[in-house]
Amino acid sequence: MSNNIKQAAKNSDKSALKLLSRLFPYIKTNSGGIAVMYFFSLANVAATIALPFLIQKGIDYGIAPKNIDYLIKISVITAVVLTLQFFSFRYQGKLMMKIGNVILYSIRRDLFNHIQRLSFRFFDKNKTGNIMTRLTVDVQVLEELLMTGLDTVLVDVIMIVGIIGAMLLLDLKLSLVLLFVLPLLVMIVFGLQSKIVRAARGIQGRLSSVNAFLNESLSGVMVTRSFAREERNIQLFENYNRSYYQNTRRFYPLHAYFWQSVIMLNTASTGLVIIGGGLLIKNGQVTLGVVAAFLTYVTQLFQPMQKISNMLNQLSRAYASCERIFAVLDEKPDIVEVDDALKDFKLTGDVSFRDVKFHYNPEEPILKGISFDAKAGETVAIVGHTGSGKSTIVHLISRFYDVTDGAVLIGSRDIRNYGIAEYRRQTAVVMQEPQIFSGSVYDNISFSVPGATHDEVISVCKVLGIHDMITGFPQGYDTPMGERGANISIGQKQLLAFARAMLRNPRILILDEASAYLDTRTETMVQAALSKIMEGRTTFVIAHRLSTIRNADTIYVLDQGNIAESGTHAQLVNRNGIYMSFLKQNLPGFDSDSD
């Protein structure tokens, strides 16, 4: 057992060191406060140890010999010590909480800010839920450590040493009780409690799976509904829940054993002090006051021990959390700005691909050498089978990913030479899945230009022809959107996404199946508006509907990661290739049944 303890202590020592070194920058900014906090902590310890001592003096030299003056003197000193204790405890607590909260706040801020810097690849790999956990659960584990343990390391060790010292000082023989109490206490506190914490960690894991399952059930509830899968889901949930429950049933007996042993030991040591004290009193070796003081000390030993053990366990838990937190903080964004990136520029709208190769995973090349030139003012359409890489191409234009090979040139300069934020500020994207946030219609549109006035938003909507649609909503532009826009139709969501993109007045506009859900009349209207606004600017359109792409200046047909055909609508029709085979599907004359 003792080996185990040593091992555990050593491990947590090492982790503690590592952990502290990473947390150091956060703590350092508060080092003044920490020093003051420790000062108050020590004052508190001193007072706590002094009090039983004073009471003993009062009993032995005041009450027992009936010396009222002495009793009053001691009482005054006790009152002063109590006041000191009160204030130092109070300031220690306040400082500790303040420092802890500031550290938590800074970690949350740094995490969030760092996450905002990370690129698409990170979010492809990591689930929202997992990233959320870093910022919530892991930070909370740190919170527990900081709120309960910041002062422990030093203070509680001193407290234990102080109590033992006081006991030895008061009476050496009666201190023999310690030989019985201490080893048992160490065993219970360090042995049993680390088991408890380990079990608790298992429970935490089960609880996360219960919650993860819950979360997804809630988001996918409509699908569950339409497949009448409620009963099976309920069963699955009950399984998760049961597994968690069974874990807790292994856990709380440990907890019960822990408290049982503590209570037994506590009371038993009182009994021992009485017996030992009685024997010593009989021989006139101690006074009654000393016995009374011992009674207090023996029970006081327990609390700091427990706090230290708690702290050690919490450290190892916090270590795991810190590791995960710092893993996120250490994550390097793979889209980085070069040092001398252009900050002040105005895009002309020329976009060229030079033999661009790209893959998400090395085994699966998606683009195998794409080259094209799009001139400012052109409308470029990209068509191809689903999964052929159309969205991927426009992702590269937005620089959500960097090419694996080749180059994307924006106005004859490599895209990687531009400052990312400014570059994106001059471009706009309407993505395949419209994303609506909770907040009003106005909030959703002005999302792309924070601080845009109501009038600006309204004028964009008027130009796009969707002003009437919005004023038709129950509260017009102020209509609150449900979660993910649950209270409007999909086409309406897409139109809001359009307005959001156009509000930016972009030099390069990317429409990734942005009108897939729009009806033809609305689409024609939006297109007409666009062609006016986008005069002299570059537009990339991905679409499957002929009516959406036929007016494009150039149409690129993507096939197997290469551009198979390109040209205007008329040229491609003449070629009678893949493009034509797509068109035929749209045409009544080529219906498969009339073939």
Partner 1 sequence: MFKILKTFAVYSRPYRKVFVLANTCMVIMDFTSYLVPVLIKYATDTVFDRVTETGDIKILYIVGSAIIISGIVRGLLSHFMIRSYWFVSESVVKDIRNSLYEKLQHLGASFYAKARTGDLMSRLTTDIQLIRNFYAFGVEHRLRIVLISVTILIIMLYQNWRLALVVYIFLPIVYLVIVYFSNKLQKAVMRKHESAGELNSTLQENLTGIRIVKAFAVESEQKKIFEKSNRTLFDADLAVTTLQAHLNPLLQLTGGVGTLVILIYGGYQVIHGSMTLGTLIGFMTYIMIIRFPLFILAFNTSLVSLAEGASKRINEILVLKDQRESDKGTVADTIKGKLEFKNVTFGYDDDQPVLRDLSFSINSGEKVALFGLNGSGKSSLISLIPRFYCPSNGQILLDSIPLPQWSLEALRLQIGTVLQETFLFSMTIGENIAFGRPDASLQEIKKAASRAQIDQFIELLPDGYGTYVGESGSGLSGGQRQRIAIARALLQNPRILILDDCTSSLDPQTERNIQNELRSLMEGRTTLIIAQRISTLRLADRIIVLDRGMIQDFDSHDNLLKKNELYKATYETQMVCSESIIEDSLSMRS
Ligand X SMILES: Nc1ncnc2c1ncn2[C@@H]1O[C@H](COP(=O)(O)OP(=O)(O)OP(=O)(O)O)[C@@H](O)[C@H]1O
Number of residues this chain uses to bind ligand X (CB under 6 A): 20
- Least distance to Mg ion, CB of residue 499, Å: 19
Q: Which is nearer to ligand X, 234 or 490 (CB)?
A: 490
Q: Which pair of structure tokens corresponds to residue 308?
A: 């230290």
| Cα–Cα distance for residue pair 529/347, rounded to 1 Å | 22
487 binds partner 1 (CB under 8 A): yes
Spatial separation of the C-alpha atoms in residues 45 and 303, rounded to whole Å:
12
Does 366 contact ligand X by CB under 6 A?
A: yes
**Nearer to partner 1 (CB atom), residue 18 or residue 550:** 550
Contact call for residue 72 and partner 1 (CB under 8 A): yes
Closer residue to partner 1 (CB): 77 or 533: 77
221 near ligand X, rule: CB under 6 A:
no
Residue number with CB closer to Mg ion (178 or 558): 558
- The window from 12-20, 168-176, 303-311, 538-546 that contacts partner 1 (CB under 8 A) reads 538-546
Residue number, 279 or 490, with CB nearest to Mg ion: 490
Is 127 an interacting residue with respect to partner 1 (CB under 8 A)? yes
Cα–Cα distances in angstroms (integers) from residue 588 to residues 288, 412, 584, in the given order: 109, 44, 8
Q: Is 101 in the site for partner 1 (CB under 8 A)?
A: yes
User: Is residue 162 a contact residue for partner 1 (CB under 8 A)?
Assistant: no
Which residues are near Mg ion by CB under 5 A? 391, 489-490
Look at strands 351-361 and 405-410 and give their pairing: antiparallel
> According to the binding rule CB under 8 A, does residue 55 interact with partner 1?
yes
Give residue number: closest CB to Mg ion: 391
The residues in 339-398 that bind partner 1, with binding defined as CB under 8 A, are 360, 363, 383-387, 391, 398
The answer to whether the CB of 58 falls within 8 A of the CB of 3 is no
Distance between CA atoms of residues 536 and 250, nearest Å: 71
Does residue number 412 form part of the binding site for partner 1 (CB under 8 A)? Answer: no
Contact 145, 315 (CB under 8 A): yes
**50 backbone dihedrals φ, ψ, rounded to 5°:** -70, -30
Neighbours of 586 (CB within 10 A): 12
Task: Judge whether 365 and 357 are in contact, CB under 8 Å.
Answer: yes
Of 97, 153, 158, 184, the residue at the interface with partner 1 (CB under 8 A) is 97
At 275, the amino acid letter reads I
CB 335 within 8 A of CB 420: yes
The residues in 513-542 that bind ligand X, with binding defined as CB under 6 A, are 517
Instruction: Compute the least distance from the CB of residue 387 to Mg ion, in Å.
Output: 8
381 C-beta neighbours (distance < 10 Å), count: 24
Backbone angles phi, psi at 368, to 5 degrees: -115, 25
Which segments of 426-513 does DSSP mark as H helices, in order? 441-445, 454-464, 467-471, 490-502
3-state helix, strand, coil in the chain (%, to 5): 65, 10, 20
Is residue 303 part of the contact set for partner 1 (CB under 8 A)? no
Residue 233 or residue 562: which is nearer to partner 1 going by CB?
A: 233
Q: What does the block give as tokens for 445? A: 């549109």
**Closest C-alpha to 554, from 513, 563, 576, 584:** 563
Is the Cβ of residue 169 or residue 256 nearer to partner 1 in the bound state?
256
Of positions 313, 492, 515, 566, contacts ligand X by CB under 6 A: 492
Applying CB under 6 A, does 561 fall inside the site for ligand X? no
How many helices (H) and strands (E) the chain has is answered by: 23, 12
* Minimum CB–partner distance for residue 120 and Mg ion (Å): 14
| Nearest Cα residue to 55 out of 90, 88, 81 | 81
**6 vs 123, beta carbon nearer partner 1:** 123
Q: Which of 1, 226, 340, 362 binds partner 1 (CB under 8 A)?
A: 226
Report in angstroms how near the CB of residue 593 gets to ligand X at its nearest.
26
What whole-number distance in Å separates Cα of residue 411 and Cα of residue 374? Answer: 10
* Residue ranges with strand state E in 341-497: 351-361, 364-374, 379-384, 405-410, 413-414, 427-430, 439-440, 480-481
- Minimum CB distance to Mg ion, residue 472 (Å): 16
230 binds partner 1 (CB under 8 A): yes
Q: Where are the beta strands (DSSP E) in 49-194?
A: none
Verify binding: residue 518, partner 1, rule CB under 8 A.
yes
* Residue of 432, 7, 386 lying closest to 190 (CA atoms): 7
DSSP 381: E
Q: How many whole angstroms separate alpha carbon 294 and alpha carbon 269?
A: 10
Q: Decide if residue 447 touches partner 1 (CB under 8 A).
A: yes
| Range 117-156, binding ligand X (CB under 6 A) | 124
Question: Closest by alpha carbon to 397, among 531, 532, 541, 516?
Answer: 541
Return the number of the residue (294 or 358) whose C-beta is nearest ligand X.
358
547 binds partner 1 (CB under 8 A): yes
Q: Can residue 390 be called a binding residue for ligand X (CB under 6 A)?
A: yes
> Which one of ligand X, partner 1, Mg ion, none interacts with residue 61, CB within 5 to 8 A by kind?
none
Size of the site for partner 1 (CB under 8 A): 185
Q: Stretches 89-97, 139-147, 309-317, 381-389: which one binds ligand X (CB under 6 A)?
A: 381-389
Does 253 help bind partner 1 (rule: CB under 8 A)? Answer: yes
Interatomic CA distance for residues 568 and 553, integer angstroms = 6
Among 226, 386, 412, 594, binds ligand X (CB under 6 A): 386
The H-or-E segment that residue 508 falls in is: strand 508-512
Interface stretch with ligand X, choices 102-110, 315-323, 450-458, 482-490 (CB under 6 A): 482-490
Question: 382 phi and psi, to 5 degrees?
Answer: -120, 125
Among 30, 204, 270, 505, binds partner 1 (CB under 8 A): 270
- Is position 543 an interface residue for ligand X (rule: CB under 6 A)? no
Residue of the chain from 5, 36, 51, 409 that contacts partner 1 (CB under 8 A): 51
Q: Are 318 and 143 in contact (CB under 8 A)?
A: no
Q: Is there binding between residue 360 and ligand X (CB under 6 A)?
A: yes
Q: Indicate which single residue of 2, 31, 371, 489 sits in contact with ligand X (rule: CB under 6 A).
A: 489
Binding site for ligand X (CB under 6 A): 124, 360, 366, 384, 386-392, 432, 486-492, 517
